[in-house]
Amino acid sequence: MQKPYVYIDPQSYQNLAIYDYSLLSHIDGDIHYVCSELYNYKPLPSNVHQHRMFGYTKHRHIPIKAISYIFSCLILAIRLLWWRPSIIHIQWFRIPAFDSRFYILLKKILGCRIVFTAHNIMPHDTGRRYYPYFDSFYRQIDAIIVHTETTKQELLASFNLPEDKVAVIAHGLLNIQYDPQLLEKQKAEFDNHYQLKGKIVFSALGYQYEYKGVDTLVQVWASTPELCQNSQCKLLLIGKNRGVDLSAASNISNVMIEDRITSDEEFFYLLSNTDVYLLPYRRISQSGALLTVINTDTPVLVTDIGGLTDPFRIASIGWQMPQLSEEALRNQLLWLLKHPEEIKKIKDNKEDWNKLRKYYSWERIGGLTQQLYDNVQHE
């Protein structure tokens, strides 16, 4: 009898729940899906057995969260001894010092293969603090999935791994699951609140982190009269702020800063009314925001880091800056203001957007993941 696969994602809610569902829906075989109690997406296919085991998110204090997470992992270990999987596929670590040792121990006990998706080589903004744990873990597991060739090369250089251990499998496009009827009811309210009609709209939505470069964006906007005093354009910074100083733009009339989480309907509305989505990141491997934006045919301005420019190899979907600097960002924003016809030309190029949808389709990505599982099992 074919042994099952076990797919583990302790963070499987919101966009990560969409990612898991989309990938698992295109993989064959008997799959145990170990996920968060907060999984909030569609019911999974019949070959995927869901186990909502991680409840650490309901606790407020970090020590309690950690105890809850480790307890869930111990319950998971008992289940794994019963399931006897051929492959354990891990999506995210929560406590690298614990997780890296926990899964290697399980690999030795169960004699199974371990596949890890390195969405980021190491956790954001942690420097080399976790390097020893990831170094040991990466060397002992069987395969690592990354989403871009750039990330693969960074991983190989940072950890001196054999090239055939790392597979490049793209991150698929993410759909915004909004209620069209509810959006229609709220549209007049959104129109009145945002006042976007007739304006060139630049947006950076969702969680605001330092690594996303929004602090530089705000400084550029606030210090450039052609931007901050221009009634024909608008900058939207809507989303929870994680410690970024945006005060320089707090009193500028054509900038909207709102420190809150939006509904799916409001998020779709904002993207649909955005002319250029801004991703002036300092560092990243791949961006879920970019893969959501592509699905709405919204042109982008990105920094040439990580996998942000990978889609440009397939189609012309916007503009690139070689690096994040105030000068580069200012020049690009001013150029876009003077050339709205170029924005429209990219937005209306359905052939290019369809090329991207084909390349980033979950059917293709699921097939490549299935192929990796097969190869790993027969090594």
Give 339's pLDDT tier (boundaries 50, 70, 90).
Answer: very high
pLDDT of residue 124: 61
Tokens of 243: 């410690």
pLDDT of residue 79: 96
What does the domain layout of the chain look like in residue ranges? 5-172+361-377, 180-359
Of 164, 166, 148, nearest in space to 305 by CA? 148
Q: 70-84, 110-124, 221-235, 263-277: which has the minimum mean pLDDT? A: 110-124
The mean pLDDT value for 72-98 works out to: 95
CA dist 360 and 286 (Å) reads 13
The mean pLDDT value for 141-159 works out to: 91
Of 202, 199, 196, 197, nearest in space to 332 by CA? 202
pLDDT of residue 377: 86
Q: Is the pLDDT of residue 379 over 80?
A: no
Taking the CB of residue 71, how many other CB atoms lie within 10 A of it?
Answer: 14
Tell me which of 56 and 177 has the higher pLDDT.
Answer: 56
Long-range contacts of 161-168 (CB under 8 A, 24+ apart): 165/138, 167/143, 167/368, 167/372
Q: What percent of the chain has pLDDT over 90?
A: 75
Fold held by 5-172+361-377:
Rossmann fold (3.40.50)
pLDDT of residue 53: 94
Residues 17-43 pLDDT 10s: 989 999 999 999 999 999 999 998 899
This prediction's pTM: 0.81
Of 374, 42, 350, 377, nearest in space to 177 by CA? 42
Q: Is the pLDDT of residue 127 over 70?
A: no
Does 180-359 match 5-172+361-377 at the fold level?
A: yes
Give 121's pLDDT tier (boundaries 50, 70, 90).
Answer: confident
pLDDT of residue 126: 63
Q: Rounded to the nearest 5°, which phi and psi values hold at 113?
A: -95, 150
Which stretch of DSSP H or E encloses residue 8?
A: strand 5-9
Give 160's pLDDT tier (boundaries 50, 70, 90).
Answer: confident
pLDDT of residue 177: 81
Burial (Cβ within 10 Å: 0-12, 13-18, ≥19) of residue 61:
exposed
Residues 244-296 pLDDT 10s: 999 999 899 999 999 999 999 999 999 999 999 999 998 877 777 888 898 88
pLDDT of residue 107: 95
Give 326's pLDDT tier (boundaries 50, 70, 90).
Answer: very high
Report the CATH number of the 180-359 domain: 3.40.50.2000
Burial (Cβ within 10 Å: 0-12, 13-18, ≥19) of residue 190:
middle
pLDDT of residue 266: 95
Q: Is the pLDDT of residue 321 over 80?
A: yes
Q: Is the pLDDT of residue 192 over 70?
A: yes
CA dist 51 and 223 (Å) reads 52
Helix and strand element counts for the chain (H, E):
14, 13
Q: Is the pLDDT of residue 176 over 70?
A: yes
